Structures are given as C-alpha cells and as structure tokens.
Amino acid sequence: MDIIKDNTRAQESTNAIERMYITMRHLFNRGFYKPTGVSGETLRNALLSLHPEIYGSLAEEKAELNGLVYVLERLPSGIEQCRYINLTSDEGYGKSHFKAIIPPKRRRNCYRIDSEQMNIEITRGRSDIYDILTHLTFLYIEADKICQ
C-alpha cells in the first residue's frame, strides 16, 4: 500500500520558512554569504517555494518589475554594483568622510566604502538581516531571469 503525501500550501510555506531560518542561522555563524553558493541556492529555493506576495509573481519566468521596484526602494543605491556587502553595527562611519546612503523606504545607514564594498548598519538585529538577505536573494533571482 503506497501512501502518497501531498503537502498543503501551508505545509510547503512552513517548510520553506524553516529552511530559510536554518540557512540564515548558518550564515550568521559562518559570517559570509555567497548568493551563488550552496546557502544562496537554498535561500533561492525556499523563497521560490514561499513566493511572498510582496515580491509579486516571483516564480514565473518573466521579470517581476514591481518586486524589483519594491526591493530597490529598500536597499541602498548602488548595492547591485558591490561585490562585498558587510552587515555591521554602528562603527562610526557617520563621523567619517563616507556619505551615508539611506534607502528611500528603509531608515538604515549604508556606506559605500569603495567601488566593490558597501557596509550596511544593522540596528534591528536579526529581523534586519533576514530582510536584507531576502531582498538580495530576490534581486539575484530576478537578475538570473533577466540574463536568460
């Protein structure tokens, strides 16, 4: 007798959230994130399975322009050009020569250190980090769609 297990949409969403949470906890401990690495792929798959409404039609083959606008308004300008994104506490960059970049829809100070590096000040703890990693994952998913 074969037992077929069909997950409900709620179960799939719960599993996706758990995978994202575990992966992000792993990233906290490791200290870095490669969007195209194993952890990045896990986050992508979980986000595609979860497909939050804020990102629009994430799972479709076409680029989701409304979702891109949403994310780009919440990430610092120029982040897409940076190879290294550092999540830091307040380290005094506000008193340095670096100009703060504040995303239009998020009040967080970000600093472009050089052509390849951006620092984002984390003030709300893990929720801030989850927010940023989810937005970056969405950005990479959409970038892949555009490349194809």
Work out the pLDDT band at 1, boundaries 50, 70, 90: very low
Q: In this predicted model, what pLDDT tens digit does every residue of 74-87 receive, in sequence order?
A: 999 999 899 888 88
Residue from 15, 2, 18, 25 nearest 129 by CA: 25
Rg (CA), the chain: 17
Q: In this predicted model, what pLDDT tens digit does every residue of 12-42 receive, in sequence order?
A: 888 988 998 898 888 888 877 788 888 889 9
Query: Is the per-residue pLDDT at 71 higher than 90?
Result: yes
For residue 29, the one-letter residue type is N
pLDDT score for 87: 87
pLDDT score for 6: 65
Beta bridge partners of 117: 84, 114
* DSSP states along 59-113: TSSS--HHHHHHHHTTS-TTGGG-SEEEEE---SGGGSSPPEE--TTS---EEEE
Query: Is the per-residue pLDDT at 4 higher than 70?
Result: no
Residue from 83, 31, 61 nearest 145 by CA: 61
Domain boundaries, the chain: 9-147
pLDDT score for 55: 84
Q: In this predicted model, what pLDDT tens digit does every residue of 52-64 receive, in sequence order?
A: 888 878 778 888 8
pLDDT score for 126: 82
Q: In this predicted model, what pLDDT tens digit does every residue of 115-132 receive, in sequence order?
A: 999 999 988 888 888 899
pLDDT score for 76: 94
Q: What is the mean pLDDT of residues 95-101?
A: 92
Q: What is the mean pLDDT of residues 96-106?
A: 92
